[in-house]
Structure 1
């Protein structure tokens, strides 16, 4: 597998001394050594001119009506994608050289997305046209290649895992197309999830990052790249001291795959997971909230073949503890395809270890379809009703399926009403939800639900875990606490 290259001799000079306790006195020597490895990425995209002006409103039968309609119709046809006048749209970003011999440059995917032409502008004024080797939208990374006349100045990746909150870092980029710009700050936080993708694990910094810094490197005080600047939070578009960088730990793996294959090759487990909160942890008998709760399993996927079931709580993956739900997708994606991994799960109060052979995520995303299942029609029966946890329950029948638009593939007990001041309402349970399981036991009638809840209450449980489905079959877990349930009043009207 291709590896990101070591820098040339000019970039591997002796590391500077560690910064002073109160911050570095100067980063001039460090910046001078690194500036030439940071580039400006200029892109051009050809788009059809879709600008249009609405015709004026004229009285019906006006002598000018026919003239204006003819004029604007001709103008509209000229501005259509197939007949309009094309425009050149340009954008700017930053990048950096990781292999000077082979001309390999790293930047953000959003910097070069949909570009027809990519030009790399170097610090000495040199301009080279770049070839796109590969992109990954999930981590917002792209790898480019130029043909250098001579070896380029390059930098190397450092270990982002060693970065601590409070460490000094330096960003170099090309904001506002002003040329190489250096800013310095500290690591404000780590492991930030800004919900930009499935593998968010950003380094947050207060080093000024502005428009045009995207794709540029974030250096530690040794001159190693520990992050790739990619996003900011700002109401004005300028820096307010909240910037985010992709950690080198994540970036290096993706970059190596893009260099070698032109695409990513991530592991795939085939589960839909949910965060474990304190209520869910309590309903499962856990002292602390951790792990990833399986809300759904892809038919014929690796997890299904290995025996993972909805309701399983994944505690460990390949020997690593799953502290939170969002850690599992990264663990799986970073694992080699076709590898046999041990997955430790908690199922109905018992721990077990399952052997799973991972698939490839991209194969599934590129068109593997789930087989449709057709169930045989059954004779309708008289529907049962019941009440529990502030919910009015009913047995599913054709009329209720039609009323709440519930697919035939969904089975369980339908919720027809929810008391707005009940604990179920606080967990956003609503009419039309279907209870599939109660405490990891399948239910088919309201009596099943009531009996299972009574059993748990008699066992001293403080909450009950419900597996709910919406009308299309999408599953989620909610935990409802028993100690929030009010006693029913005698004069309360019976459920209809």
Structure 2
């Protein structure tokens, strides 16, 4: 009996081993497909395969890198300064104490046309005597400075070459927070280098940026010294910004960098190429960014937008019917949630352009078309002055060729120096002032510690000189 039981057990064990081997090594795995019990077809939002493909495409940076590496250049600026040593001249004769020193600065630039036009930052080439551009293939060219815009920190260069690789502009209004981007530049004097990150914020206002545009793209792509003037591109290799600044305590990248939006940069270089200067447009309103606290004080239901505190008489906004207490929430389809959103949008426009403004008045949404006008009025906080352009009739009456009028004084200390409304600023540091934009440009290019020597005509037409530190 025991023998029979042993035979049965061994047979069962052998059968089990044989079946297991068949299942493991011979039989193909069975695919189980779940089916819905409903007879009606189910609508699927997206195809899984397509989503996977899109995800892979969005994180594959090789195409964008290939399109941009050869269109980003190294920019070297050389400036020469002559220093005179009076002690050496006293002991060794005239001329012996004069020495010339050279200073070298570096950055990046972006070729945006095949015939050699390059965009970079103004601070990269500021004060340069010579500018050299090195392509990614190590070829070196002398560059001509076509024009600059200190307010937006943009400069336009030109090299004598044809059929160059270049990057096309994208619409920076269409970028989204969280979108992948690449920063391409020449950090630490290396050849073109690519780093990746995402867009962290749009319309970022940097306090204390020296008057530079306050509508930056913020990204966490690593940007280091030498990246200034380089390209911020999307995954298609299209230019969405010019890398300009970093947030740092050490001088190197610690987490965030900032770029001038491509729409602003494109408008600036087009102006420099066509007019030789930047055409600045204004809406004709004064006010500020709306937030919860301001809205509560004004008894408004909104918490985002641009609140109009006053409208400049005879400006485009005035003619179009905008009024005090209106809140602008959209312009030409661009949502306005902050002061930076509005100024950034206006920096892409020229005097004479017509824009569609969506605003809220007494709780109701309304629209109007505004023809933008030329910038005629400005507030220079660093000087404590409100300034206004002079028209041809006023210049003729005053018998002067240039100048801007002081229309308000916000710094009470200036009153003790007898500066009054109606004074005319004619020059700053020897440079003639023709418009309020000229004043803003001089202020924005002022170096740390530099004094401003301002010449003014008083109410009697007499010339007075003041030093602002």
Q: TM-score, normalised by structure 1?
A: 0.58
1:354 and 1:224 map into 2 onto residues whose CA distance is 33
- The aligned counterpart of 2:165 is 153
Determine which of 56, 77, 80 is the counterpart of 1:20: 56
1:174-209: CA deviation from partner (whole Å, max 9, x where unpaired): 111122222222333333222334743322222211
2:141 and 2:376 map into 1 onto residues whose CA distance is 32
1:363 and 1:86 map into 2 onto residues whose CA distance is 42
- The aligned counterpart of 2:198 is 186
- The aligned counterpart of 2:301 is 287
Once structures 1 and 2 are overlaid, which stretch shifts more, 245-254 or 112-121?
245-254
Secondary structure of the structure 2 residue equivalent to 1:99: coil
Determine which of 71, 85, 89 is the counterpart of 1:37: 71
**CA-CA distance at 1:372 after TM superposition:** 6.4
1:30 and 1:348 map into 2 onto residues whose CA distance is 48
Determine which of 233, 237, 245 is the counterpart of 1:231: 245
Determine which of 158, 181, 184 is the counterpart of 1:172: 184
Once structures 1 and 2 are overlaid, which stretch shifts more, 195-204 or 110-119?
195-204
- The aligned counterpart of 1:93 is 107
Secondary structure of the structure 1 residue equivalent to 2:165: coil
Q: In the alignment, is the contact (CA less than 8 A) between 2:329 and 2:360 conserved in 1?
A: no
Secondary structure of the structure 2 residue equivalent to 1:20: helix
2:421 and 2:240 map into 1 onto residues whose CA distance is 51
- The aligned counterpart of 2:286 is 272
Q: In the alignment, is the contact (CA less than 8 A) between 2:63 and 2:236 conserved in 1?
A: no
Determine which of 341, 349, 359 is the counterpart of 1:327: 341
User: RMSD of the alignment, in Å?
Assistant: 4.1
Secondary structure of the structure 2 residue equivalent to 1:326: helix
* 1:276–1:362 distance in 2 versus 1, CA, 3 Å: same
Determine which of 104, 112, 116 is the counterpart of 1:103: 116
Secondary structure of the structure 2 residue equivalent to 1:105: strand
Secondary structure of the structure 1 residue equivalent to 2:266: helix
Secondary structure of the structure 1 residue equivalent to 2:250: coil
Q: Does residue 1:113 correspond to 2:126, yes or no? A: yes
1:140-164: CA deviation from partner (whole Å, max 9, x where unpaired): 111111111x421112123334433
Q: In the alignment, is the contact (CA less than 8 A) between 1:98 and 1:154 conserved in 2?
A: yes
Q: In the alignment, is the contact (CA less than 8 A) between 2:167 and 2:238 conserved in 1?
A: yes
* 1:112–1:362 distance in 2 versus 1, CA, 3 Å: farther
Q: Does residue 1:254 correspond to 2:268, yes or no? A: yes
1:403-432: CA deviation from partner (whole Å, max 9, x where unpaired): 9x9x999xxxxxxxxxxxxxxxxxxxxxxx
Once structures 1 and 2 are overlaid, which stretch shifts more, 225-234 or 201-210?
201-210
1:18-417 alignment runs, 5 A limit? 20=56, 23-24=59-60, 27-28=61-62, 30-49=64-83, 71=87, 74=90, 84-100=98-114, 102-148=115-161, 150-195=162-207, 196=209, 197=211, 199-298=213-312, 301-303=315-317, 311-315=324-328, 322-339=336-353, 357-361=371-375, 367-368=389-390, 369=404
2:195 and 2:354 map into 1 onto residues whose CA distance is 45
1:285-340: CA deviation from partner (whole Å, max 9, x where unpaired): 3212233333455566555666666x433435766564333333334443442345
The unaligned stretches of length 5 or more in structure 1 are 1-16, 53-69, 374-401, 410-496
Secondary structure of the structure 1 residue equivalent to 2:339: coil
Q: Radius of gyration: which is bigger?
A: 2
**CA-CA distance at 1:74 after TM superposition:** 4.4
1:222 and 1:355 map into 2 onto residues whose CA distance is 35
* 1:356–1:84 distance in 2 versus 1, CA, 3 Å: farther
**CA-CA distance at 1:171 after TM superposition:** 1.8
2:179 and 2:364 map into 1 onto residues whose CA distance is 43
* 1:147–1:222 distance in 2 versus 1, CA, 3 Å: same
- The aligned counterpart of 1:392 is none
